[in-house]
Amino acid sequence: MPLIVPRRELTWSEKLYFPAYFGGLAITVRHFLNSLLGRKADKVTMEYPEEKWKVPEGYRGAPTLVSDQDGREKCVGCQLCEFVCPPRAITIHPAPMPENAQHGKIEKYAEKFEINMLRCIYCGLCEEVCPEQAIFLRQDYAFTGYKREDLVHDKKRLLELGGVMPDPIFKWKNK
Kindly state whether residue 168 falls inside one of the protein's structural domains.
Answer: no
The pLDDT value recorded for residue 169 is 57
The pLDDT value recorded for residue 102 is 67
Q: Once rounded to an integer, what is the mean pLDDT over residues 39-51?
A: 78
Helix, strand, coil % (nearest 5) of the chain? 25, 15, 60
Kindly state whether residue 95 falls inside one of the protein's structural domains.
Answer: yes
Kindly state whether residue 173 falls inside one of the protein's structural domains.
Answer: no
- Residue 35 belongs to domain spanning: 13-40
Do 138 and 70 lie in one domain? The reply is: yes
- Could you report the per-residue pLDDT of 96-148, keeping only the tens digit for each? 888 777 666 678 889 999 999 999 999 999 999 998 889 999 888 777 889 99
Q: Once rounded to an integer, what is the mean pLDDT over residues 81-101?
A: 90
Do 74 and 126 lie in one domain? The reply is: yes
Kindly state whether residue 171 falls inside one of the protein's structural domains.
Answer: no
Do 92 and 156 lie in one domain? The reply is: yes
Do 126 and 80 lie in one domain? The reply is: yes
The pLDDT value recorded for residue 26 is 95
Count CB atoms within 10 A of the CB of residue 50.
6
The pLDDT value recorded for residue 108 is 87
Kindly state whether residue 89 falls inside one of the protein's structural domains.
Answer: yes
Q: Over 90: is that where the pLDDT of 63 sits?
A: yes
The pLDDT value recorded for residue 48 is 83
Do 20 and 87 lie in one domain? The reply is: no
CA distances from 89 to 33, 84, 99, 126, 141 (A): 54, 10, 31, 10, 18
What is the spatial distance between Cα 95 and Cα 77, in angstroms, rounded to a whole number?
A: 8
The pLDDT value recorded for residue 175 is 45
